[in-house]
Structure 1
Amino acid sequence: MPTYAFVTVDVFTDTRFGGNQLAVFPDARGMTDAQMQALAAEFNLSETTFVLPPSDPANTARVRIFNRSAEMPFAGHPNVGTGWVLAQMGRAKDGVLRFEEIAGLVEVTMTQAGARIAAPQALSTGVTFTAAQMAACAGLSSDDIITTNHPPIQATVGVDFVLCEVKPEALSRANPDAAAFRDVADTTEGFSMRLSLHLYAKQPDGTLKVRMFSPLTGTWEDAATGSANATLAAFLLSLSDQDQGAWEVSQGVEMGRPSRLFITAQRGPDGVRATVAGGCVPVLKGEVEL
């Protein structure tokens, strides 16, 4: 039986057993789609990545990202972590890697602590929701949802999230209700994604605290969601008259896996683009026979 090496890393942290866990298979040649999905379910992490040769030799690799139940077009911490792992193997050229993914080409730039990724798409927005709908999903009251700046809204820079601002004191009280998630996803016309809710609260010092819930994909709560926070950066900039912006984000505290993410956004010729950066720490390595 063929044997495949894997490593795990904690992403968006400088401390082992913090941040968001990721499993990486640096050479997944020969694996079937079903095997990749089965391994992602077996690891039971928010995502697992599988590295394949690129279609274009100018790029570093083709990277496939699976959560517990499906393949994803793009995700943040899997790209940061996979980039860090491949860089340790000497595969970065001048500190840069380029990954082919379903959502497009993802550029990963190595940093002193870890890596920074550029989201593959400019910001786009879609369906809006009521405060009552998102309050039900988050186990909060409608009064906890802030709608003065925007309603809860579907947004993406490569993978969809619903962005929802909440009062700072409400964030720690959030407790997702899977039935409410399913009801909103099933009854919103033209809405086909499996609802992932990204709650954020602005802090007096200008930083952001966030929590991300996606129970319909098997991720009750995520410790650090790079793609959601990149989307948030792009969306916040779009609400302003500025040309660029930067924020520090805290996530995963309520889970006991504190994470720090650094997000930026800038206006460009095709719209608002975003990046997300953070550290990586190696944890485990091993082999799987298939």
Structure 2
Amino acid sequence: MATYRFETLDVFTDVRFGGNPLAVFTDARGLDTAQMQALAAEMNLSETTFILPPEEPGHTARVRIFNRTAEMPFAGHPSLGTAVVLARTRGGAEPVVLGLNAGETRVEMAVDANGQVVGGDVAAPQPLSLGPELDPAAIAACAGLAPNEVPTAAHAPVAASMGNPFVIAEVAAEAISRAAPDLPAFRRAIAPHPAFNGRLSLLIYSRAGDQVRARMFAPLAGTWEDPATGSANAPLAGLLLSLSGEESARFEVTQGVEMGRPSRLRLSARRAPDGIRATVGGACVPMFRGEVSL
């Protein structure tokens, strides 16, 4: 029987019991895929990560990310929280480079006045890619809203990814707090899109200048609502930049309010030779430590 240690953090917050909780298994050598998935389901958090030795030169670690039901190629708050754990373990504030299924992911670390690592900025591993547009009425139903509460003047609901695909939809500012996921509507909305492989993770947002309110629902993957979703907000920043014609943009996102876990995410997007790139950053607060024997 082997013992595996883990730590938990609240991510995209600077206060305990806010943000998005994350569990990090700090040395996952010896665990197979089925065990990692079982541990992630047992933790019952949005995601759980598993740190392994690096497989590529220049990488700090190989990291695998699991939600309650499946492995994920990239996710924002797991990348940030895992990088904070690695940085604190090794000491110093040098960048952390993670080898994820979606590719190399660099995290620039942030420190407080005492030199303690308190957060960072995650560079999404891929440039913005846009997929099909979805029926606004179907997406409105997914969020429990009326069709006229999903405006399409800026863009229709659209699949977008920087390493992990989401459907992004703007909603009326007065409607975002009333939104609630409708599981049958999610199933109906995904039916015409076999390329989505049964997955529909929906980020809804409203915007006032550079201030954004967001919520993310993924009930088909077991996450009824997520308090902070870096891998959805990064392509949101990229999408908004693509619509503006500007060279770069910055946004501040508030998410998780309706869940009682308010989160703050800072976004930046820029045009690069290979497309639009984005980063998502914020703070982390360490919470628990524990171990499990298998």
Structure 1: unaligned runs, 5 residues or longer:
none
Alignment partner, residue 218 of structure 2: 214
Structure 2: unaligned runs, 5 residues or longer:
112-117
What is the distance in 2 between the residues matched to 1:193 and 1:146? Answer: 25
Q: Structure 1 residue runs of 4+, over 4 Å off?
A: none
What is the distance in 2 between the residues matched to 1:25 and 1:82? Answer: 9
SS in 1 for 2:85: helix
Residues 9-55 of structure 1: CA distance to partner in whole angstroms, max 9, x if unpaired? 00000000000000001110000111100000000000000000111
Alignment partner, residue 244 of structure 1: 248
Alignment partner, residue 115 of structure 2: none
Are 1:7 and 2:7 counterparts?
A: yes
Could you tell me the TM-score, scaled by structure 1's length? 0.97
Residues 239-282 of structure 1: CA distance to partner in whole angstroms, max 9, x if unpaired? 11100000000000000000000000000000000000000001
- Find 1:171's aligned residue among 153, 168, 176: 176
Could you tell me the TM-score, scaled by structure 2's length? 0.96
Aligned-pair Cα RMSD in Å: 1.1
SS in 2 for 1:139: coil
What is the distance in 2 between the residues matched to 1:85 and 1:193? Answer: 33
How many aligned positions are there?
A: 288
Name which of structure 1's ranges 54-63 and 11-20 shifts more when overlaid on structure 2.
54-63
CA contact (8 A) 2:210 2:250 kept: no
CA contact (8 A) 2:254 2:263 kept: yes
SS in 2 for 1:216: helix
SS in 1 for 2:90: coil
Residues 179-219 of structure 1: CA distance to partner in whole angstroms, max 9, x if unpaired? 1111211222543250000000012x530000000000000
Alignment partner, residue 131 of structure 2: 126
Amino acid at match of 1:216: L
SS in 1 for 2:87: helix
CA contact (8 A) 1:127 1:191 kept: no
Shift of 1:57: 3.5
SS in 1 for 2:138: helix
What is the distance in 1 between the residues matched to 2:290 and 2:137? Answer: 46
Q: Identity rate of aligned residues, in percent? A: 57
What is the distance in 1 between the residues matched to 2:78 and 2:91? Answer: 16
Amino acid at match of 1:188: H
Shift of 1:91: 6.1
Shift of 1:56: 1.5
CA contact (8 A) 1:233 1:264 kept: yes
